[in-house]
Chain A
Amino acid sequence: MASAFSATKFTQPLPLNTSTSRSHGKQSVFDPLKSSTSFLGSTRKLRFTSFPKLNQPNSHRPSLVVAVSEAVKEKKLKSTSNLLITKEEGLELYEDMVLGRAFEDMCAQMYYRGKMFGFVHLYNGQEAVSTGFIKLLKKEDYVVSTYRDHVHALSKGVPARAVMSELFGKTTGCCRGQGGSMHMFSKEHNLLGGFAFIGEGIPVATGAAFTSKYKREVLKEGDSEDVTLAFFGDGTCNNGQFFECLNLAALWKLPIVFVVENNLWAIGMSHLRATSDPEIWKKGPAFGMPGVHVDGMDVLKVREVAKAAIGRARRGEGPTLVECETYRFRGHSLADPDELRDPAEKAHYAARDPIISLKKYIIEKSLASEAELKVIEKKIDEVVEDAVEFANESPLPPRSQLLENVFADPKGFGIGPDGRYRCEDPKFTEGTAHV
């Protein structure tokens, strides 16, 4: 796989630091000051570009920390022959990203019109990560996300109608209106949420990966392992649960990929102010798994890294930590005034809009014409409008739904067999509630 890409944008290789000294092959650590671009609005300059890809995944030595940071950086315009994607794939990626963007923009509109409420966290700008990873998954693979989960749900296949209704709090939503923006679950699409607490999804994802490994080895079901993707942000990488799961996933070689959506800001806390070593991919090798850094604004690069990581997991070689450098165009949530981010930084990333980059690629490589892309955009507009209409017309949850679903056992609580609330039964508090 290394041959397909040419590493670009080198800066001078620096001496190895001790943590990666056991690697074979050359390892370059970029000098941040010499990188061609720098983060604006942050206190330290940070390199954008990444590293030449070193070793193949299957040459991973089992016992040592061989897995060095490997990253794929590929300048598409300079690559001579190989196209990274076929036309169908290109259109599929484009459609998914446009759906994500259009949906989130519609969410913002609906929020300001009062149709949705509470905390809504939008994903504008980060679509490349979701599309790049999730479109490579099978339906049986699991995705675990955070509160910024609308687009993960859409990429995984949850219908836009169901997501929009859920946001409106209607009973036709994917969680019947009981979850909301931050808690999207779908058993059918194996979307395991939707967690409000950061870091909470990571152990859950690790558990899902454990299950798939268990099913294969202990219960002897199925051949290939179902892979789990855990999405979380840069702020989460300082949380204890993250490190605990990295350790266990590597120890037990679980089929999981930890995807860090490093958008540099945790509400108003810059990643650089919060983290002692801001290069998150380095935390992977510390635990015995490859750590990869990739440009998260470019869906094709993300997709290539994702293929490698997911392939690794599926073959049973263990976890990977992928740091996607990305950016959210809007504030942390719709209630965030977003005053602390430098407008120059925002403009810098807005110029690297993943949808525009992909569009450019598709047109330049003559994979599709502008007209075909416009057709897709129009189609997505209709899908989103239809979703809003559907959500608007859907009914609110009935009162009887309030006490439902507290337990899986329908007799344990809530509605009794006669249809009345159990707690209104005069005998309810007598003795232990036996049914």
Chain B
Amino acid sequence: MLGIIRQKAFGQSLQRIRPVASSWGGYSSTSKQMMVREALNSALDEEMSADPKVLLMGEEVGEYQGAYKISKGLLEKYGPERVLDTPITEAGFTGIGVGAAFYGLKPIVEFMTFNFSMQAIDHIINSAAKTSYMSAGQISVPIVFRGPNGAAAGVGAQHSQCYASWYASCPGLKVLAPYSSEDARGLLKAAIRDPDPVVFLENELLYGESFPVSAEVLDSSFCLPIGKAKIEREGKDVTITAFSKMVGYALKAAEILAKDGISAEIINLRSIRPLDRPAINASVRKTNRLVTVEEGFPQHGVGAEICASIIEDSFGYLDAPVERITGADVPMPYAANLERMALPQIFMNAARR
């Protein structure tokens, strides 16, 4: 096999790319700006008012207004029967949520971060994901597990892991990773309406970022399809796939590459499972080069899956080996400079190749 897959965990920091808050409003200036936090809040609000079977449970979702203020105002509006503050018992309340979903309710289980979902992973995988299969379709589990995923700033190793690849390897789960407010709103609404277990991976650092949203997005029946990626930026020289926060970095990289005459096509995956393979393949067949970017650990990561499946499908179209850019293969260090080094900073070099 061609392709010495090299992991680029860090490179010479020619330039540190950091998405600056609300500097992305460089698109249409006539559309409204919405923060990801508001987008999620409005999605939850609308779905809860549309369907009385939808309920939210998690730590600090009620009186504290949400650990990251995503569920602000929901307790006042829907009352403590539908917005449940739980004790610190992930295994317990996740199991309770799954059980409720078995019997027809539509719970949304919030994890304060997805790191804490590890205490409940038995229920997510064994009880939720596998049940529809094991019961031959008799029991469906319309549950949504959501929460921030991936690294925030300086929170140490136990709060910074990206769980996209873990959950995406499980049949029976749908895994979504929104980037912009539009993604957040559309995908969360789709997830809540979906009759299957959905793992909804948000990102804490994106919560405060604003993105322009069109009127269509603000409509209360707006939903995005699960399993479809979005081409954020068209290009013809190299395809860069990313999800969640890394899309922001990729877009910035594309701007810089454009000045060098390299036109990069950025794909915002949106849905990690099911992966939108047709879209990625179509893009690679057009550009003939692929770079995948993700925040998580390199081995068995999302990038590994994308690279492998693209090679299976579009090998003849590739002009150069596929490359993965991932976080460093270490638990996240605390020291600020080490943390910066552990996350993808620069992938323009890879793209240039």
User: Of all chain B residues, which has the CB nearest A196?
Assistant: B158
Contacts of A401 in B (CB 8 A): 338
- Once the chains are docked, how many angstroms separate the CA of A182 from the CA of B152? 15
B8's nearest neighbour on chain A, judged by CB, is A423
Answer whether residue A170 sits at the interface, using C-beta atoms and an 8 A cutoff.
yes
CB distance from B208 to the nearest CB of A (A): 13
> B338 contacts which chain A residues (CB < 8 A)?
169, 177-178, 397, 401-402
Closest-by-CB residue of A relative to B341 is A402
A8 to B: closest C-beta gap in Å: 33
Task: Report B60 CB to chain A, min CB distance, Å.
Answer: 5
Given that A238-B89, A267-B67 are known contacts, is A403 also in contact with B328, CB under 8 Å in the complex? yes
With contacts A238-B89, A274-B87, A275-B87 taken as known, whether A119 is within 8 angstroms of B159 at the C-beta atoms is yes
Determine whether the beta carbon of A240 is less than 8 Å from that of B91: yes
Contact status A340-B119, CB under 8 Å: no
B10 touches A402 (CB 8 A): yes
A327-364 vs B, Cβ < 8 Å mask (1 yes, 0 no): 00000000000001000000000000000000000000
A265 CA to B165 CA, complexed, in Å: 35
A-contacting residues, B164-216, CB 8 Å: none
Is B342 located at the chain interface by the 8 A CB criterion? yes
Cα distance, A406 to B336, chains bound together (Å): 18
Interface string of B133-145 (1 = CB under 8 A from A): 0000000000000
Contact residues on A (Cβ < 8 Å of other chain), bracket: 35 or more
Q: Is A411 an interface residue (CB 8 A)?
A: no
Contact A117–B119 (Cβ < 8 Å): no
Nearest-Cβ distance from residue B221 to partner chain A, whole angstroms:
34
Bitwise, A185-201 to B at CB < 8 A (1) or not (0) is 00000000001111100
* Known interface pairs A177-B333, A196-B158, A403-B328; A117-B87 also in contact (CB < 8 Å): no
In chain B, residues 32-84, which have Cβ atoms closer than 8 Å to a Cβ of chain A?
59-60, 63-64, 67
Kindly list chain A residues whose C-beta atoms are within 8 Å of the C-beta of B10.
402
Report yes or no: A183 in contact with B156, Cβ–Cβ below 8 A: yes
Q: Taking the complex as formed, is A57 at the interface, i.e. its CB lies under 8 A from any CB of chain B?
A: no
- The residue in chain B whose Cβ has the minimal distance to the Cβ of A176 is B335
- The answer to the question of A268 belonging to the interface, with a C-beta cut-off of 8 Å to chain B, is yes
User: Given A182-B156, A196-B156, A240-B92, are A269 and B330 neighbors across the interface (CB < 8 Å)?
Assistant: no
- Contact residues in B for A402 (Cβ distance below 8 Å): 10, 328, 330, 333, 338, 341-342
- Between A116, A166, A175, A267, the greatest number of chain B beta carbons within 10 A of the residue's beta carbon is seen for A267
* Chain B residue, CB-CB nearest to A177: B335
Contact with A along B77-104 (1 / 0, CB 8 A): 0000000011111011000000000000
Q: Verify B4–A179 contact, CB threshold 8 A.
A: no
A181 and B156 contact, CB distance less than 8 A: yes
Residue pair A118, B155 in contact (C-beta under 8 Å):
yes
Decide yes or no whether B331 CB sits under 8 A from chain A: yes
> In chain A, what residue has the closest Cβ to B86?
A274
**A406, B91: Cα distance in complex, Å:** 29
Question: In the complex the two chains form, what is the Cα distance from A182 to B160 in whole Å?
Answer: 13
Say whether A106 faces chain B, with CB atoms less than 8 Å apart.
no
B329: chain A residues within 8 A (beta carbon): 403, 406, 413, 423
Is residue B256 contacting chain A, with contact meaning CB distance below 8 A? no
In the complex the two chains form, is B155's CB within 8 Å of A119's CB? yes
Closest A residue, CB atoms, query B328: A402
Q: Mark B227-261, 1 if CB is under 8 A from A, else 0.
A: 00000000000000000000000000000000000
Separation of A18 and B122 alpha carbons in the complex (Å): 35
B87 CB contact (under 8 Å) in A116, A180, A182, A269: A269
Q: B59 touches which one: A181, A195, A267, A275 (CB < 8 A)?
A: A267
B162 within 8 A of A: no
What 1/0 mask marks residues of chain A from 263 to 287 whose CB sits below 8 Å from any chain B CB? 0001111000111000000000000
A171, closest chain B residue (CB):
B335
- How far, in Å, is B248 (CB) from chain A's closest CB? 21
B156 touches A403 (CB 8 A): no
Chain B's nearest CB lies how many Å from the CB of A12?
31
B333 in contact with A178 (CB, 8 Å): yes
Expressed in whole angstroms, the minimum distance between the Cβ of B187 and any Cβ of chain A is 27
Tell me if A429 is interfacial: C-beta within 8 Å of chain B: yes
Among the listed A118, A197, A268, A413, which residue makes an inter-chain contact with B334, where contact means beta carbons less than 8 Å apart? A118
Contact residues, B103-141 vs A (CB, 8 A): 115-116, 119
Tell me whether A180 and B328 are in contact (CB under 8 A): no
A113 is an interface residue with CB less than 8 A from chain B: no
Which listed residue (A170, A196, A267) contacts B335, Cβ 8 A?
Answer: A170
Report Cα–Cα, A50/B312, bound state, in Å. Answer: 70
In the assembled complex, the Cα of A324 lies from the Cα of B35 at a distance in Å of 43
Whether the Cβ atoms of A169 and B336 lie closer than 8 Å is yes
- Contact A180/B154 with A197-B116, A199-B88, A397-B338 known, Cβ cut-off 8 Å: yes
Contact yes or no, A197 B115, CB < 8 A: yes
Q: How far is the CA of A169 from the CA of B332 in the complex (A)?
A: 13
Contact B335 A396 (CB under 8 A): yes
Complex alpha-carbon distance, A382 and B205, angstroms: 38
Is B308 engaged at the interface, CB distance under 8 Å to the other chain?
no
Min CB distance B37 to A, Å, is 15
Tell yes or no: A426 within 8 A of B by CB. yes
Q: Which residues of A contact B67 (CB under 8 A)?
A: 267
A171 to B335, CA, bound (A): 8
The answer to the question of B7 belonging to the interface, with a C-beta cut-off of 8 Å to chain A, is: yes
B320 is an interface residue with CB less than 8 A from chain A: no
A396–B335 Cα distance when bound, in Å, is 8
Contacts A178-B338, A182-B156, A183-B158; A238 near B87 (Cβ below 8 A): yes
A224, CB-defined interface residue at 8 Å: no
Q: Which residues of B contact A178 (CB under 8 A)?
A: 157, 333-335, 338
CB-nearest residue of chain B to A179? B334
Contact: B5 with A196, CB < 8 Å?
no
Over the window 1-26 of chain B, the binary record of Cβ atoms lying under 8 Å from chain A Cβ atoms (1 yes, 0 no) is 00011110110000000000000000
Query: A236 in the interface, Cβ–Cβ < 8 Å?
Result: yes
Highest count of chain A CB atoms <10 Å: which of B63, B159, B337, B338: B338
Inter-chain contacts of B6 with A (CB < 8 A): 423, 429
Determine how close the nearest CB of chain B comes to the CB of A426; give it in whole angstroms.
Answer: 7
In the docked arrangement, what's the CA distance between A406 and B338, Å? Answer: 14
Q: Does A291 contact B (CB under 8 A)?
A: no
Extra pairs beyond A178-B334, A198-B88 (16, CB < 8 Å): A117-B336, A118-B156, A119-B155, A177-B338, A179-B156, A179-B334, A180-B334, A181-B156, A196-B115, A267-B60, A267-B64, A268-B63, A269-B85, A406-B330, A406-B331, A429-B4
5 nearest A-B residue pairs (beta carbon): A180-B334, A118-B154, A169-B335, A268-B64, A177-B335
Chain A residues packing against B (C-beta within 8 Å):
116-119, 166, 169-171, 175, 177-183, 195-199, 235-236, 238-240, 266-269, 273-275, 340, 396-397, 399, 401-403, 406, 413, 423, 426, 429
Show 27 A/B contacts (Cβ-Cβ < 8 Å), sorted by A. A117-B153, A118-B153, A119-B155, A177-B335, A178-B334, A182-B158, A183-B156, A183-B158, A196-B156, A197-B115, A197-B158, A199-B119, A235-B87, A266-B87, A267-B60, A268-B63, A268-B64, A269-B59, A274-B86, A340-B63, A399-B341, A402-B328, A402-B333, A402-B338, A423-B7, A423-B329, A429-B4
